[in-house]
Amino acid sequence: MKTAIKVAIQGIKASFHEEAAFKFFGKDIQTVECNSFKQTCDRLENQEADFVVMAIENSIAGSLLPNYTLIREYNFAVVGEVYLPIQLHLMALPGVKFKDVKYATSHPIAIRQCVDFLDDFPQIQVIEGNDTAACAKRIKDEQLTDTVAIANSLAAELYGLNIIERRIESNKKNYTRFLILKSDKNDEMKDINKASICFQVGNHVGALSKVLNIFAEQEVNLTKIQSMPVLGKRSEYYFYVDMEWNNMEAYDKAIRQALKFTVNFNIMGEYKKNDKV
């Protein structure tokens, strides 16, 4: 009998991270619940998980900057990506009416994504939690009749809650991109056409432009560029870049040329583009 692969997620069962894991791997997996993104990395490093599914950006809330640092510091390989449409619902114990609600609870990013809805009900006090699904579970465990959670339909199903208001997110085209991490690079991957890289450049005029032009000349499309300060070093930055290509040879050539003009160059992962929402 085949052992189910273990996938570490930030949060608990029925969280968006588990939903993303299901979308990428299918439902026949063993979810390893973790309290923080750092803990997911520790689980992978200690071989208590085979993969980590980690949110890296949201179309409304932006990039999760600390996660870039985690991936770089643990030196994990990015072996895939998955985009998940974020649909947020208001849920409560069966029988609870909206007029009885005094508190709404969810993860801070989920709350930010529902700010237009929440602004219409100033009488409801918003309480931040560390995970959308955990907020739903708490309502069930503590039988809270005056509290609603903002979470996905998976959480409502798992914890026996009624959805009293559907799709309360401000932007209906809201999505989160998750990266799939492994402790080592996957050499047998096929159809590679996307990469995530990280590097530094010298602090002088045109240093970054020179590197970016190399990729442009080889028709490698840069889909994202993110800068982060180097801890304790003034005016020094790490640049995190996602790129796509149609011609593997052109990509290889661009990488070889870029190495001459960068320091601390790191290919964090090469994988198959998977941007269907």
Q: Which residues touch 210 (CB under 8 Å, ≥6 apart)? A: 201, 261
Structure confidence at residue 99 (pLDDT): 93
Band of pLDDT at residue 134, cut at 50, 70 and 90: very high
pTM of the model: 0.92
pLDDT (tens digit, 9 = 90+) per residue, 236-255? Answer: 999 999 999 999 999 999 99
Residue 206, phi-psi category: left (phi > 0), alpha (psi -120 to 50), beta (remainder): left
- E strand segments, 86-202: 89-92, 103-106, 125-128, 147-151, 162-165, 175-182, 194-200
Structure confidence at residue 81 (pLDDT): 98
Structure confidence at residue 1 (pLDDT): 60
**Domains defined for the chain, CATH in brackets:** 6-85+174-182 (3.40.190.10), 89-165 (3.40.190.10), 194-271 (3.30.70.260)
pLDDT (tens digit, 9 = 90+) per residue, 70-103? Answer: 999 999 999 999 999 999 999 999 999 999 999 9
